[in-house]
């Protein structure tokens, strides 16, 4: 029951965090477009994605140590828990130093590689170096986040992230209105980077996650090798994921220019918020799945994993159709007509979101088994294939061609391979996992898509604001009801029903009468 409590708490706070992220986006983008030209905004978006690649200096060690901490957190007396934390602290220090040196030395080279115009080159190099220093500083305090993750208290990390977002938003408004320009992002990030570690340390100490006297052990070469071996596999896994999900702005800026990169960033903003919304149940469930695997509770592991697969897939279907129904209208209203975003892009983004939701649970399950194997090469090959094809297709068919490339690459590489890996672990037939486990999701997608098509053409002659309002009500009320009735896992509901307050019993009866 404690696992379910942790799962529910982590999931609730992660969704609250996404709500704060939505507020940040809704407020910040119009503000940025008011105070900054689209070219400078596109420059900042490109810089953020480059820094995402810099973070790969982690080499998978963060994921490796957090996974190993789960195995040792219940046996602190032998010193392995403390030894892992000391190893993580030393590695974080080395990684911070590497990032610092990289951004200092490689910034001019990256400016040339990204074809930064001469009038923006000096600003780009300066901003990249300053953001690199902030990123390096954040690396130093990663062990606190690892402890929270290992003890299934991601809700504390989510609270920290929410405070960072709200604080950054307030500071961004302050510095933009004071004429800070594009440097306002740096000022806001720097101030919040200094405040965040105090909050994390205080919570780790309050919750008793810091090793006590006699539990620290010592830095062990054997433990470091174990973390490094696992981390190397995770690194290629993360590199492939980064290439797939965070290369679009780089491809667009090189193929179509900075203004197109700004348009892509704004037009795909809701998609980028929907992806973590879809993946949150899986992320919240992973520490519990790790624990079941470590304790050999394989039958329970299968049942919980099946529920998470269905919940994630159904969220993908619900949010994918909702995105196709509302996003282009939302972008038009949100930016007061400054950004033109094609409805075709939204249809493709909705399909991509569904494919991601069907893939992500099986993709991440290799971390549960700690047997990443060929997955690292599959993702890396998929990422390379995407970048090559998208760079060529983007020049000819624009963003629509790039999104279609993402869908086809995901289906051809990671989806089919990760599904076969799950089939092998659970000794199931491919059809069982690919169809039977997610049949309610497929029913939801079919019914909701038909409704969305009818609503789209029925409101075609109305003003854009009215259309957005009607589509939003259809998505939130009817689409939400269809998700609960057709897509919500019954097994998960039965397990949680005893914890629902009396005022929420009607919801359980509606989902599973």
Location of structure tokens 């090189």: 254
Please report the pLDDT score of residue 452 as a whole number. 95
- Of the pLDDT bands very low, low, confident and very high (cuts 50, 70, 90), residue 506 is very low
What is the C-alpha to C-alpha distance for residues 369 and 434, in angstroms, rounded to an integer? 20
Asked if residues 141 and 197 have their Cβ atoms less than 8 Å apart, the reply is: yes
- Reference 266, options 239, 248, 242; nearest CA is 248
- Of the pLDDT bands very low, low, confident and very high (cuts 50, 70, 90), residue 507 is very low
| DSSP character string of 55-105 | GGGGTTHHHHHHHHHHHHTT-GGGSHHHHHHHHHHHHHHHHHHHHHHHHHH
Look at residue 501 and tell me whether its pLDDT is greater than 70.
Answer: no
Distance set, CA 432 to CA 211, 355, 422, 423 (Å): 44, 17, 11, 9
- With a pLDDT cut of 70, the percent of the chain lying above it is 84
Please report the pLDDT score of residue 483 as a whole number. 92
- With a pLDDT cut of 90, the percent of the chain lying above it is 20
The interaxial angle of helices 38-54 and 118-139, nearest 10 deg, is 40
- 200-249 pLDDT tens trace: 889 888 888 888 877 777 776 776 776 666 666 666 666 667 677 667 76
> Six-digit token pair at 492?
């998960």
Asked if residues 292 and 300 have their Cβ atoms less than 8 Å apart, the reply is: yes
What is the C-alpha to C-alpha distance for residues 360 and 415, in angstroms, rounded to an integer? 8
What is the C-alpha to C-alpha distance for residues 410 and 13, in angstroms, rounded to an integer? 29
The number of C-alpha atoms within 13 Å of 165 and in the hemisphere containing its C-beta is 19
What is the C-alpha to C-alpha distance for residues 407 and 283, in angstroms, rounded to an integer? 22
| DSSP character string of 180-198 | -GGGHHHHHHHHHHHHHHH
Look at residue 319 and tell me whether its pLDDT is greater than 80.
Answer: yes
Interval 453-473 mean pLDDT: 94
Which of 169-173, 284-288, 340-344, 388-392 is the least confident region?
A: 284-288
Question: Which ranges of 114-220 would DSSP assign to H, the alpha helix?
Answer: 118-139, 142-150, 154-177, 184-206
- Of the pLDDT bands very low, low, confident and very high (cuts 50, 70, 90), residue 505 is very low
Look at residue 15 and tell me whether its pLDDT is greater than 90.
Answer: no
- Reference 182, options 120, 133, 259; nearest CA is 120
Asked if residues 448 and 321 have their Cβ atoms less than 8 Å apart, the reply is: yes
Mean pLDDT over all residues of the chain?
A: 81
Asked if residues 405 and 382 have their Cβ atoms less than 8 Å apart, the reply is: no
> Six-digit token pair at 112?
């040339």
What is the C-alpha to C-alpha distance for residues 279 and 241, in angstroms, rounded to an integer? 14
Task: Work out whether the CA dihedral 213, 218, 224, 226 comes out positive or negative.
Answer: negative
Look at residue 500 and tell me whether its pLDDT is greater than 50.
Answer: no
Look at residue 65 and tell me whether its pLDDT is greater than 50.
Answer: yes
Asked if residues 259 and 39 have their Cβ atoms less than 8 Å apart, the reply is: yes
Model's pTM, two decimal places? 0.66
Please report the pLDDT score of residue 1 as a whole number. 44
- Of the pLDDT bands very low, low, confident and very high (cuts 50, 70, 90), residue 11 is low
- 379-431 pLDDT tens trace: 888 888 888 888 787 667 888 888 898 899 989 998 999 899 899 888 889 89
What is the C-alpha to C-alpha distance for residues 472 and 482, in angstroms, rounded to an integer? 15
The number of C-alpha atoms within 13 Å of 31 and in the hemisphere containing its C-beta is 22
In this structure, what are the phi and psi dihedrals at residue 296, rounded to the nearest 5 degrees?
75, 20
Interval 429-440 mean pLDDT: 91
């Amino acid at each position: 029951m404690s696992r379910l409590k942790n799962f529910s708490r982590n999931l609730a706070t992660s969704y609250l965090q996404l709500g704060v992220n939505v507020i940040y986006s809704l407020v910040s983008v119009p503000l940025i477009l008011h105070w900054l030209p689209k070219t400078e905004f596109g420059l900042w978006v490109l810089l953020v994605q480059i820094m995402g690649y810099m973070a790969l200096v982690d080499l998978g060690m963060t994921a490796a140590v957090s996974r190993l901490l789960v195995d040792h957190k219940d046996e602190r007396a032998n010193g392995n828990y403390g030894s892992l934390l000391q190893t993580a602290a030393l590695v974080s220090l080395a990684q911070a130093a590497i990032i610092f040196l990289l951004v200092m030395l490689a910034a001019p080279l990256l400016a040339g590689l990204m074809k930064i115009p001469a009038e923006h080159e000096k600003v780009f190099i300066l901003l990249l170096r300053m953001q690199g220093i902030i990123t390096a500083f954040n690396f130093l305090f990663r062990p606190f986040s690892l402890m929270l993750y290992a003890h299934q208290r991601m809700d504390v990390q989510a609270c920290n992230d929410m405070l960072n977002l709200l604080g950054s938003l307030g500071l961004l408004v302050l510095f933009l209105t004071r004429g800070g320009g594009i440097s306002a992002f740096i000022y806001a990030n720097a101030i919040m980077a200094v405040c965040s570690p105090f909050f994390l340390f205080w919570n780790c100490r309050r919750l008793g996650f810091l090793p006590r006297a006699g539990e620290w052990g010592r830095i062990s070469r054997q433990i470091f090798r174990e973390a490094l071996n696992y981390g190397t596999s995770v690194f290629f896994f993360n590199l492939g994921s980064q290439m797939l999900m965070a290369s679009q702005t780089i491809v667009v800026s090189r193929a179509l220019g900075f203004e197109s990169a700004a348009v892509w960033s704004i037009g795909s903003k809701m998609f980028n918020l929907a992806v973590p919304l879809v993946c949150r149940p899986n992320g919240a469930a992973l520490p519990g799945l790790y624990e079941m695997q470590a304790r050999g509770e394989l039958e329970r592991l299968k049942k919980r994993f099946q529920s998470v697969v269905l919940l994630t897939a159904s969220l993908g279907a619900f949010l994918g159709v909702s995105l196709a129904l509302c996003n282009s209208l939302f972008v038009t209203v949100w930016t007061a007509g400054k950004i033109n975003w094609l409805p075709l892009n939204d249809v493709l983004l909705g399909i991509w979101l569904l494919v991601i939701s069907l893939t992500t649970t099986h993709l991440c399950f290799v971390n549960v088994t700690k047997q990443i194997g060929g997955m690292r090469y599959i993702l890396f090959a998929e990422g390379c294939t995407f970048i090559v094809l998208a760079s060529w297709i983007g020049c000819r068919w624009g963003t629509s061609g790039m999104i279609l490339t993402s869908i086809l690459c995901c289906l051809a590489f990671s989806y089919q391979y990760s599904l076969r890996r799950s089939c092998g672990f659970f000794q199931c037939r491919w059809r069982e996992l690919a169809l039977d486990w997610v049949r309610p999701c497929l029913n939801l997608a079919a019914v909701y898509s038909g409704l969305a098509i009818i609503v789209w053409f029925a409101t075609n002659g109305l003003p854009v604001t009215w259309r957005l309002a009607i589509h939003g009500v259809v998505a939130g009320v009817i689409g939400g009801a269809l998700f609960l009735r057709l897509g919500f896992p019954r097994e998960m509901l039965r397990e949680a029903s005893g914890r629902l307050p009396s005022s929420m019993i009607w919801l359980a009866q509606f989902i599973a009468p």
